[in-house]
Amino acid sequence: MGKKTKVALAIAAASAAAWAGSKAISKPQKRQGKDILQFERPIVLAHRGGLQLAPEHTMIAFEKAHELGVDGFEIDIRLTKDEEIIVFHDDTVNRTTNGFGYVKDFTLKELKELNAGFYFEDLEGNTPYKDEQISIVTLRELLVAFPDTYVNIDMKDDPDTYEGSLIPSKLWRLIEELGVEDRVVVTSFYSEQIDRFNLYAQNHVALGAGENDVRKAFTAFSSQFRHLYHPKVDVFQIPTKSGVFSLDSSKFIAFLNNLNIPVHYWVINDEETMRRLIENGAQGIITDRPDLAVQLLKELHEQNTIEE
């Protein structure tokens, strides 16, 4: 046996021993299920209220989605100049309103004077709200207006900014004041923001996965060391792909489900993909077209009822 072969065999043996050792001392740790995530069927979350049907993040959109029968909303939040939390996606107001500039440079009063439906186009290409005054919504207003609705809250401000440094604590104080700990999920693209928020929440609020959380989970899933993955979050809201990696396989969904983590996919706007994801085991669809998703889920439920 040659020297190279001996070295290769030694490395393989060491790797096998490491795997066996880690398997023996590390057991998968399931997350304790949060009440808000205990559904017996797939759910529909209206992305920004359903932005293809009404101006995003406005009461018009939320009310329309609620009337359609969605289970909840997937929203973004940002902090204003006077440190109020508004429901808004972009860091500027340029794309959706008749104003120009950064959200952080406006007070809430100034933002309320803008038309949040200025650029909205409906499915026929019309701009029905261009000449109206559609108000920007605060998070407080939304949570009070829909007291029984699941709200997935995404902190958008960069953690390295002044606004980003404040929003985790301000968000927790608002959630605690309104007593909505059991009906919101808090997440961020930045995993460190989720960690900051949880310093205040202490796991009393369901947490969604940030980019690093998704990367760690998929790396563990793709390796022989799945048993070493211990999740810090309660639900994954993810796209179907990240770069060249597919995140929508039934095996990946099952891997997370076995850890008591449901998987919701965004942003899914066609029925074929919705159907495929649900067949693969997805527990939620985040969509700009809640009308399509609600109808499809209703049809699938009726179909399953007949088959049973």
Q: Is 89 part of the annotated catalytic residue set?
A: yes
Residue 161 in domain: yes
What would the mean pLDDT of 192-217 be, rounded to a whole number? 96
Do the bridges between strand 150-155 and strand 206-207 make them parallel or antiparallel, or are there none, so unpaired? unpaired
Res 24: pLDDT: 41
C-alpha span between 25 and 145 (Å, rounded) = 49
- 29 within some domain: no
Lowest mean pLDDT across 153-162, 195-204, 214-223, 294-303: 294-303
Per-residue DSSP letter, 208: B
Does 5 map to a domain?
Answer: no
47 belongs to the catalytic site: yes
> How many domains does the chain fold into?
1
Residue 7 has pLDDT above 70, yes or no: no
- Which residue in 57, 66, 89, 264 is the catalytic one? 89
- Asked if residues 294 and 268 have their Cβ atoms less than 8 Å apart, the reply is no
Distance of CA 167 to the CA centre of its chain: 17
The answer on pLDDT for 5 being more than 50 is: no
- Residue 153: which CATH number? 3.20.20.190
Catalytic residue among 47, 57, 66, 264: 47
More confident residue, 1 or 302: 302
Span 274-296, average pLDDT: 97
Token pair 């179909």: residue:
303
pLDDT in tens, 123-142: 999 999 999 999 999 999 99
User: Average pLDDT, stretch 152-172?
Assistant: 97
Q: Please give the residue range of the domain that contains residue 187.
A: 44-307
- Both tokens of 155, joined, read 């902190």
pLDDT 10s digits, 89-102: 999 999 999 999 99
Q: Is 16 inside any structural domain?
A: no
